[in-house]
Chain A
C-alpha cells in the first residue's frame, strides 16, 4: 500500500489549524480544532470523521500542503467510519470498476481525456476542439471519487492501473506524452493526489481551462462577447488544484461574461449537494443548495457555469427553476464562438 506523504510534525506545530477552523460544514474554535486534530494524528476517532462533508476544501486551506483531507479519509477507512451507507459504497465500487473494454487505437494531440462521462462526448466538437482526439470509459476513470466514500484503498488499488492503461494503450503507442483533462477530478488526481499518495505519473496533464484559454485566444476574432453575468459553481475537486482558478477568470474575460462576486465562490464555494445526499444528509444538502441558489439569484446571474459534470447534473434543474441557465464551461465557450 502506498503511504500518504504527510508529516505529522507539521500538524502538531500548526498554530492556525485552518483545515478545521475554516471548515464550512463543522464548527470548531481553535482549541477544539487542535484537540480534534491531535485525535486524528493519533489515529483515534474524532467527530471530524462523522461530520466531514468530504468537500476537499481543507486541502486548499492547509497553508502547509500537508494533506489534511487525505488524512481524514485514511482515518475514516481505518476506523470504519463510513460517511455513506455501506451498500451504497459497495454498489458504487462495483459500478465504477474498470470493465476491461480498452480498445487501443490511433490517437493524436491534443488528446482529450473525458474520464467516465460518455454522455459528454457531444461536447467535444467544433472549432474549439478542432483536430482533437478523445478517450473515455471506465478503464480510464480517475477514481478520485472514492475520497467521498472513505475508500482510499480503492484509489490506491485502481489509480496505478488506470495510469498504466492510459500510458500503455493510448500514449506510448502513439508517441504522446500529454493529454487534456476535461474534468477537474482527473487533473487533480494526476497532479495532486497521485504525488501525495506516492503514485508515479509518467505523463503530463493539461487542465481543460488552460486548453480552452489557449484555443479561445487563437480564435479570438470569432468570439462574440456573451455580455452576461455568470455565477461559477466551483467543484470540490478544484480545491486540490487552486492554481487553475486564474484560467476561469481568463476564460470569462475572453468570452465576455462577468463573474460577479458572490458569497459562495472561490475559497467559499459550496458543495453541489450530491455527496451529502449519498451520506443521507438531505437536510444539509437542502440548506446549502438553497443558500447557493439564493446567492446566485441575488447577484443576478444569467448563467450558472459548471465544470464538473456531477455538479451540473445535480444542480441544472434547480438552477433552471431559478431562471438561471445552467451551462458547462466548454459549452459557454462554444456559445461565444457561435457554435
Chain B
C-alpha cells in the first residue's frame, strides 16, 4: 500500500494524494442514507495525463477506481464500494473555450456549475448553461454523466442532450475524444458520427473517466418571467403539462407538490419559466401559455397565481435555494431523494404513491417533477429530509426510499442515478439481452474490472 501511495504522489504531487483517516472518512460517504465505504487513497489529478497515469497504475495493480465530482449525487455512486482509489476531479476545473457564435463551452470535467455560471455572467452575459438544482459546487462532468437535468431542460432536454462531445480516459488508459472534436477543432456536435458518448452516460463511472466536456449554451435573455399554474386535481396535471410544454415557450417547467408550508398542501403548482428579448415577446409568450390552458381557466379549476415582481425572483433562482432550505428542514443535514424518469402520463400515480409512502413511513417529504423537453418525459422526485444524528429517522428515510424506487419501477418509471439496490431493481426488470450487452461492453472496455466495481452488477 505504501508503494502505491508513493507512486500516486509521484503522479499528482504530495499535496494531492491522501491515505489519512480523516480524508478517507469524508470520501467514504455522501449526503444520503447509504452506508459508508472507505477508500484506501484519494487523489486529485490536475490534468488528463495525470488521470491517465492513475488509471494505468490502477490497471497494473488491479486497484478499483471510483471517479468523483462533488459527491452530491446523494445515492452513494461516488462511494468506493470495493475500496481502492477515489479520483476527485475538482482540480480539473478550467474553462477551456466559450464559442459565442455556435453557443458551446468546453470545460474540464471537474468544473463546477457555479464557476461556469459566474464565468458566463461575467465574460459572456448573453449566454447561459442549464443549471441543475444542486449546490453550485456540483460539477458539470458529474451532472452530465448521470443524465442530469436543469433550468433549461424544457428547452433542451436532459443535460446529456446538451452534450456536444467529451474527452475520456478509458479504463485501460487510452485517451479518447467523442463527437466532432474527434475530427474537427470545433466541439460543436455529436452528429453525424457514430454516437459513442453513450458509452459513458448513465454508467455510474464504470466505463471510464471523463476529463473534458463540451456543452451547449443558450441565450440569456434580458427579460425573464415565471407563471405558476395552480390546480388541485392530480389527474389533470399530465394534460396541463402537455399543453403548457407544447407551446414551446418555456425554458423550465417544474411541478411542485409539498405539504409545507401548510397553504401549499393539496395543490399542484406548475412553475413555467420563460425568457424574452422584449416586452412584446414576453406578453406574447405569456398569452400563449394562458391560451394553452384556457379550458381549465374557463372551468375555474386552475389558474395562474398573481405574483408581485419581488416574489418572482426566488422562484426563478438557478439553482433554487428553496430546495436547499428543505434539505435541512430536519436540522440534521440529511437529505436524499428518489428521482425517477417517467412518462408524463403516470404523474397521478406517481404523486399518489409518493404521498402514500411518505405518510406510511412518517417521513418529511416534498414531491415534484421537472419536465424534460416539450413534455417528452419528466424527472419525478420524492425528496425526504431526515436528521442524520437520529438513526431511527435515517432508517425511516431509507425504507421510504427503497419503497419509492420499487414503486417508480412498478408504475413504469426508472430510478435516476440509482443507488446499488435500485440498480438491482432495474436489472431485474431489464431485458436480459440489454443487460448482457452492458456486461460485454464493460468487459471490453474494462477487462480488469477496476472502474467503480459493484455498480450495474448482479450481486455475486
Q: Which residues of A contact B (CB under 8 A)?
A: 82, 84-88, 90-91, 94-95, 97, 274-275, 277-278, 280, 282, 286, 313-314, 316-317
Contact = CB atoms under 8 A, between A and B. Distances in A.
Given A82-B300, A85-B301, A278 B230 contact: no
Nearest to A86: B300
B305 interface: yes
A82 B262 CA distance: 23
Q: Which 3 A-B pairs have the closest CB atoms?
A: A85-B303, A95-B263, A94-B263
A316 B309 CA distance: 9
Interface stretch (B93-101, B282-290, B441-449): B282-290
A278 B263 contact: no
A62 to B, nearest CB: 28
8 contacts: A85-B230, A85-B300, A86-B301, A88-B305, A91-B263, A275-B306, A313-B308, A313-B309
Given A87-B303, A278-B306, A286-B283, 19 more contacts: A85-B296, A85-B301, A87-B230, A87-B231, A87-B301, A88-B230, A88-B303, A88-B305, A91-B267, A91-B305, A95-B261, A95-B263, A275-B306, A277-B304, A278-B303, A278-B305, A282-B287, A316-B309, A317-B309
A280 to B, nearest CB: 5
A87 B302 contact: yes
**By DSSP majority rule, is chain A's interface helix, strand, loop, or mixed?**
helix
Nearest to A274: B306
A200 B263 CA distance: 30
B12 interface: no
B2 interface: no
Nearest to B309: A317
Interface residues of B, number: 25
B310 interface: yes
**By DSSP majority rule, is chain B's interface helix, strand, loop, or mixed?**
mixed
Interface of B: 230-232, 261-265, 267, 283, 286-287, 290, 296-297, 300-306, 308-310
Given A90-B232, A282-B290, A84 B283 contact: no
Contacts of B262: 94
Nearest to A84: B303
A53 to B, nearest CB: 14
Contacts of B263: 91, 94-95, 97
Contact of A280 (B232, B290, B308, B309): B290
Highest count of chain A CB atoms <10 Å: which of B230, B297, B301, B303 = B303
A95 B231 CA distance: 15
Nearest to A312: B308
A280 B267 CA distance: 18
Contacts of A317: 309
Highest count of chain B CB atoms <10 Å: which of A86, A95, A280 = A280
Contacts of A274: 306, 308
A116 B231 CA distance: 25
A82 B287 CA distance: 22
B284 to A, nearest CB: 12
A177 to B, nearest CB: 34
A82 B302 CA distance: 12
Contacts of A84: 300, 303
A270 B262 CA distance: 34
Contact of B302 (A85, A97, A282): A85
A137 to B, nearest CB: 15
Contacts of B304: 277, 280
Contacts of A95: 261, 263
B272 to A, nearest CB: 14
B249 to A, nearest CB: 15
A309 to B, nearest CB: 10
B308 A314 contact: yes
A91 B309 CA distance: 19
A91 B300 contact: no
A78 B232 CA distance: 22
Contacts of B264: 91
